[in-house]
Amino acid sequence: MLNHRAWKLMWVFVEKFSIVLISVFTFFIYAKLLGPGELGLALFALSIGQGIGVIYVAFLEDPLVRQNDVQAAHFDSAFWGGLVVSLVTAAAVMIGSLFASDDVRFQWLMFISVLHIPLLTTGHIYVADLRRKGKFKSLAKRTMGGKLIGAAVGLTLAWTGYGSFAIIVQSVIMALVSLVIMMRTSELHIGSQFRMSVFGELLSVGWPLALRGASWDAMNRGIAIILGLTAGSAAVGVYGLARRMIDMPRSAIYGGLLSYALPAFSRNQHDLPNLQKMFCFTTLTTCFIVLPMFVGLALVAPYLIPTLFGEEWRPAAPLIQILALVAAVGNTLIYVPTALTAVAKNKLTLPSELIAAGSALVFTAVMGAEMGALAGACAFIVHTLIASPAKVIGLKKALHIEPSEWLRTVYKSIVAATCMVGAVYAFVTYYSTLHPALLSATIIAIGMMTYLTMYTLLHKTWVSDLKAFLMKS
């Protein structure tokens, strides 16, 4: 019978996958009910409020989770300091929108959107407490409750003709309901022990995380904007579909894993040998499961995308292949930022992250007109080539894990996945005329069998090791 760790992981994934599934469902409904103009206006306003809120969350949530000896003053200082800063920021953004546009509709959308800033900032103080205590079931309930109520309200508004307001209101309702659920059910009680020194300590740990998150977000949004300016709206559409096909599974999988990993790593921040062992084994196990999923998606994309979305979306297939392989490579280093945060050395890779994001944007601007949507996908290769070596170096400096040891951890999955690609291409060479749906199913089956066979030859004890990981307290 699976123990406490397995149940924690299960509830982590319930939370993350529920977000993805509900988001996908509501997005397609809004796309049908709202025109491009209304949808674009709502998403623009939403990105401002949510974007600032997410940055403020990074300043406070993970630093609270990684604290070895957290006191009530830490939570009190984070809550009240975050609330004051977020309210001031929300007011400033709202005033700025009044001067930026004379459109009363946009101004009201911004007024609602900036509510995200205090709601997300204060709500994630409770999230940090639940993550520290390993109460991922409570987190899943809070997420599902907020998502379902928010989606119901938003879709009702959309059906009754409120247009752009439906999307903004849905998101704010989700954040508000989640906060209310946590405040009523959490054991955390916010007091009045605000200390500026404690608040400053949290910010000193959190600012590299916030800056890294802002650079990643700016790169994602910036590539689409640059493609629109250099290659046209059709290129943005193709790129957007490809990004969504990768981001949906990656957000659910990685979000769940990292949400669990930080408190687990932080509990061992002063026990370096155990942290090294935990990092390597967690990386090995994650690569074994996740890496072939993205490689498999790259293999079936040319046949699956036209079948699901129509021939007009066939140009998105090569982009999906590139982005999936980039995600597979990134999977081998997925825990490096989390481990650096756990030992308070997350500044080590920050310069490279900023340079990588800037280089990706420059590449898109230079090559967008010539390569079209493909430039957006290739920009992520540029980002990976710059950021990955820095992560390996950061791993050596912070955790004293040599590059050779990291390679020994991930090479089995890489070799097995390479054999998987070879077997699939050999099959497709002779049977490419099969119906695309049947061909896709066969590719998946051959890929799974080849991968498991090769991985078993390289790592004969993987079944017992995986069971030990799930059964360990």
34-43: average pLDDT: 62
Question: Exposed/middle/buried for 373, CB within 10 Å: 0-12, 13-18, 19+?
Answer: buried
Give Cα 222 to chain centroid, integer Å: 17
**Per-residue pLDDT at 1:** 43
* Dihedral sign for Cα atoms in the order 277, 280, 282, 284: negative
178-207: average pLDDT: 81
**Per-residue pLDDT at 380:** 95
Q: What is the pTM of this model?
A: 0.70
Q: How confident is the model at residue 386 (pLDDT cuts 50, 70, 90)?
A: very high
Please report, rounded to a whole number, the percentage of residues in the chain having pLDDT higher than 70: 86
Question: Exposed/middle/buried for 312, CB within 10 Å: 0-12, 13-18, 19+?
Answer: exposed
Stretch among 25-34, 315-324, 351-360 having the lowest mean pLDDT: 25-34
Query: For residue range 427-446, what is the model confidence (pLDDT) as tens digits?
Result: 998 888 888 888 989 999 99
366-374: average pLDDT: 91
Is the pLDDT assigned to residue 466 strictly greater than 60? Answer: yes
**Per-residue pLDDT at 420:** 95
188 or 277, higher pLDDT: 277
- Rounded to the nearest integer, the mean pLDDT of the chain is 83
SS3 for the chain is CCCHHHHHHHHHHHHHHHHHHHHHHHHHHHHHHCCHHHHHHHHHHHHHHHHHHHHHHHHHHHHHHHCCCCCHHHHHHHHHHHHHHHHHHHHHHHHHHHHHCCCHHHHHHHHHHCCHHHHHHHHHHHHHHHHHHCCHHHHHHHHHHHHHHHHHHHHHHHHCCCCHHHHHHHHHHHHHHHHHHHHHHCCCCCCCCCCHHHHHHHHHHHHHHHHHHHHHHHHHHHHHHHHHHHCCHHHHHHHHHHHHHHHHHHHHHHHHHHHHHHHHHHCCCCCHHHHHHHHHHHHHHHHHHHHHHHHHHHHHHHHHHHHHHCHHHCCHHHHHHHHHHHHHHHHCCCCHHHHHHHCCCCCCCHHHHHHHHHHHHHHHHHHHHHHCHHHHHHHHHHHHHHHHHHHHHHHHHHHCCCHHHHHHHHHHHHHHHHHHHHHHHHHHHHHCCCCHHHHHHHHHHHHHHHHHHHHHHHCCCHHHHHHHHHHCC
Query: For residue range 102-145, what is the model confidence (pLDDT) as tens digits?
Result: 888 888 999 999 999 999 989 888 888 877 776 666 666 677 77
Q: Using an 8 Å Cβ cutoff, are 468 and 6 in contact? A: no
CA distance 290 to 333: 12
Residue 270's identity, in one-letter code, is: H
Query: For residue range 272-325, what is the model confidence (pLDDT) as tens digits?
Result: 888 888 899 889 988 998 899 999 999 999 988 888 777 877 888 999 999 999
Q: Using an 8 Å Cβ cutoff, are 42 and 113 in contact? A: no
CA distance 206 to 306: 43
